């Protein structure tokens, strides 16, 4: 059981730069989710995929954010023209895709925008 | 949208003490999970418990779906129990996205 993995674990960037994060879900999981967590708060939903289809996006996901899951396996989250307010922990989770199932989270990518 | 409230927000215990954490939610749910977030930020699954009672070692949880609350019990606390405990739910008509409470920050002193 390899669990959900995320890379990189930490990213420091300058305002205005683009960044991309990767998530590898548990291998047999069909659903993949992205969440964002700021200091002192609980995680907030950003978007989710059923296989390769992106089925829902939060209003938090501005047009500077884009997520893909091209072959229904790993996913990438790209932030263009980063702003200081994008500084947060970005968490990925996956689940089997049953009607009622458990989401398992990766270790997260901590983004700092200077 | 659905509201998730956790109490208490902060809790300090002496090692060996017992505690009860509460999660109230404002609508019917399909899924309820309890997580422990360690100091490195990793969310660790504790329980998947939309209803009923479960136990795992020193931890147990009870969800009363009809009254829209869940309780997490920690017995004989250890310093390694320190961290933030989150309750998260998804609504019955939702897309399975989890809505998190703001957490209970637990510090267990030796």
B30 near A CB under 8 A: yes
Q: How many CB pairs under 8 A join A and B?
A: 59
pLDDT digits (tens, 9 = 90+) for A49-104: 999 999 989 988 889 999 999 988 999 999 999 999 999 999 999 998 776 679 99
Chain B residues near residue A44 by CB distance under 8 angstroms: 100
Q: Euclidean distance between the first and final Cα of chain B, in Å?
A: 40
Closest CA to B22 of B78, B61, B79, B76: B61
Least CB–CB distance from A105: residue in B40, B43, B96: B43
Chain A CB within 8 Å of residue B98 CB: yes
Q: Searching chain B, which residue's CA lies closest to the CA of residue A89?
A: B41
CA A19 from centre of chain: 12
A54 Cα to chain B: minimum distance (Å): 11
Q: What is the mean pLDDT of residues A28-46?
A: 94
- What is the tens place of the pLDDT at every residue in B23-81? 999 998 889 999 999 988 999 999 999 999 999 999 999 999 999 999 999 999 999 99
Instruction: Give pLDDT, residue B30.
Output: 87
Residue position matching structure tokens 């004989």:
B76
Beta carbons within 10 angstroms of residue A97's beta carbon: 14
DSSP string, A40-107: TS--EEEEEEETTEEEEE-TTS-TTEEEE-TTSS-EEEEESS--GGG-EEEEEEEE---SS---EE--
Nearest CA-CA distance, residue A83 and chain B, Å? 22
Q: Are B95 and A34 in contact (CB under 8 A)?
A: no
């Amino acid at each position: 059981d390899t669990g959900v993995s995320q890379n990189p674990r930490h990213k420091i960037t300058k305002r205005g730069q683009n960044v991309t994060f990767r998530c590898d879900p548990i291998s047999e999981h069909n659903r993949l989710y992205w969440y964002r967590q700021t200091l002192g708060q609980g995680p907030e939903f950003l978007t989710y995929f059923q296989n390769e289809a992106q089925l829902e996006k939060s209003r938090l996901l501005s047009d500077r954010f884009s997520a893909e899951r091209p072959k229904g396996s790993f996913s990438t989250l790209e932030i263009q023209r980063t702003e200081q307010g994008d500084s947060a922990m970005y968490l990925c989770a996956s689940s089997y895709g049953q009607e009622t199932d458990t989401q398992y989270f990766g270790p997260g990518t901590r983004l700092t925008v200077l | 949208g659905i509201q998730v409230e956790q109490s208490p927000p902060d809790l300090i215990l002496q090692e060996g003490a017992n505690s009860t954490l509460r999660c109230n939610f404002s609508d019917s749910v399909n899924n309820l999970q309890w997580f422990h977030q360690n100091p490195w930020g990793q969310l660790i699954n504790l329980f998947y418990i939309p209803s009923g009672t479960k136990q795992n070692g020193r931890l147990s949880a009870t969800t009363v779906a009809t009254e829209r609350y869940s309780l997490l019990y920690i017995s004989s606390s250890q310093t390694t129990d320190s961290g933030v405990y989150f309750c998260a739910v998804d609504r019955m008509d939702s897309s399975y996205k989890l809505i998190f409470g703001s957490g209970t920050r637990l510090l267990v002193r030796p």
